[in-house]
Structure 1
């Protein structure tokens, strides 16, 4: 078996693509899935994750529910891009999960899976970073069991939920700052700037839908998402943000990265949740460019990435 992987998620249409990508990849040992509030409230994200795994015929994968709100204070709003149930109103079309929800919470499941692993595990957080921040704060001893954190979030030059901030980071900036800027675990940030360039068009979605029941179901989740991204992209297509990050988690190096000092704005002003990516030339001077260095995904073979995701979702690889 290849990459040992845990996904932390808030499904979400693009989360559904990402979960299926991991679940259907023969070279991935998907140890578990943990859920967090985000695109929709926690009860919905948890139900969606469990039923998506059932759709992929993966009842072997445990699911545990995590944080229902951000670390510091409430008042967050859920995204509306994904429809009221997170899957364009189609969550009810998924099969009921046969495996019960784990009785332990998300952080407890993360700890047990990490401690039981005989080799370091990649964690792919593709929602708000609340569970991961709690894990690192309460269980620092598991750091050595984490190969790296590959997260979807942030932006170098843009936001989406606000002018400055990407949704996953904005949903819990304090948690994001802990994971991105203040911890020691190797981290790869996959930002909006790249995920938007990896958008897939109607022809790609048609191939997915024609591939069989799984592809047809995944494509059926996209109407609300398509309506939104038609305005953003100017054509019929979607941005599969989270699947881009999970592709890197599965296949290290499929995304090109550069090392930057990154911080997260946790103030109450208009830049709250912004990822500040320090691209100054003096990066090697810690006084001129202070802060922890992480990898930021900046480029990829766009057609190759799209084919990588499609081939695994359709079972052609």
Structure 2
């Protein structure tokens, strides 16, 4: 039986790949998509998500717009310099126009309604800032009983990408991330950029996607600005499709190897704001010291079979 899945997203090039991976998969029942502020403003993330679903011929999937800003403090920047001004290297308008209207419900209401109607547990894959998910768990606590796992792309165990300490999704709304990761509402899997960077794809992979058919070619056409950014970030011709790594785990549990450790998010206004602190000390050492009350156990993805993962992504997208 197909696994029930909801994606919360802020497309973004890697989000577009991740959403297409889920929309095309026969292994999941994609119940809905919710959008959030992030890589570009909410209006752009919402139309981008709807156009990607139209590309994949998934007019059956409802899309609802969510939070246009973080829970508490406004952000200082978005990521247009990475993804292009429209989030998709300036090529969003080249995608098919959606035939299904935007859902009249807000994202949190759609999430709550889909969970309430589900006859089995649902996986949620938030691949942008966690504002919508934090609001859901706060406003609809009973909904957590219907959540099988929350598979999150975000965080950094080493250095960040938006600041020296913080990864973009978590940095965009640290208070929301702390609410979700430390709330103990539902089991969380955190897929940090330390692992997603190792899963980067190169020119040959991208060329094969481009030649695979209309959908692969359309996805490939969204990558120029993003790929140019990663030529500098990686030092070679390739790019990191962070969110698709997390969605691969959401679709097929066990794709990534995880360690269960306490995690908390730095919500101060110092240089560490948005940092993800994972306590990877041995359990005996953790037990012998004072553990912070704000940390909860999270399954943190630390490894995978890189070749197998890249093959899974390519097969799923073509």
* Length, aligned pairs only: 314
Which residue does the alignment assign to 1:7? 7
- How far residue 225 of structure 1 moved from its aligned partner, in angstroms, is 0.8
Which residue does the alignment assign to 2:163? 162
Q: Give the match's secondary structure for 1:122.
A: strand
Alignment of 1:145-184 (within 5 A): 145-184=146-185
Which residue does the alignment assign to 1:138? 139
**Long gaps (5+) in structure 1:** none
Deviations 1:64-83 (A, max 9, x none): 00000000021431112000
Which residue does the alignment assign to 1:40? 40
CA distance in 2, matches of 1:63, 1:182: 26
Deviations 1:168-220 (A, max 9, x none): 00000000000012233100000010000000000000000001110001001
Q: Give the match's secondary structure for 1:182.
A: coil
Confirm or deny: 8 A CA contact 1:258 1:295 kept in the other structure. yes
Which residue does the alignment assign to 1:247? 248
Inter-CA distance 68–32: structure 2 relative to 1 (3 Å threshold):
same
Confirm or deny: 8 A CA contact 2:75 2:172 kept in the other structure. no
Deviations 1:15-38 (A, max 9, x none): 000000000001110000000000
Which residue does the alignment assign to 2:85? 84
CA distance in 2, matches of 1:287, 1:31: 43
Deviations 1:292-312 (A, max 9, x none): 111000000000000001001
Give the TM-score of the pair, scaled to structure 1.
Answer: 0.97
Alignment of 1:1-317 (within 5 A): 1-79=1-79, 80-281=81-282, 282=284, 285=287, 287-290=289-292, 291-314=295-318
- How far residue 284 of structure 1 moved from its aligned partner, in angstroms, is 5.5
Q: Give the match's secondary structure for 1:72.
A: coil
> RMSD between aligned alpha carbons?
1.0
- How far residue 232 of structure 1 moved from its aligned partner, in angstroms, is 1.3
CA distance in 1, matches of 2:42, 2:291: 38
Inter-CA distance 177–223: structure 2 relative to 1 (3 Å threshold):
same
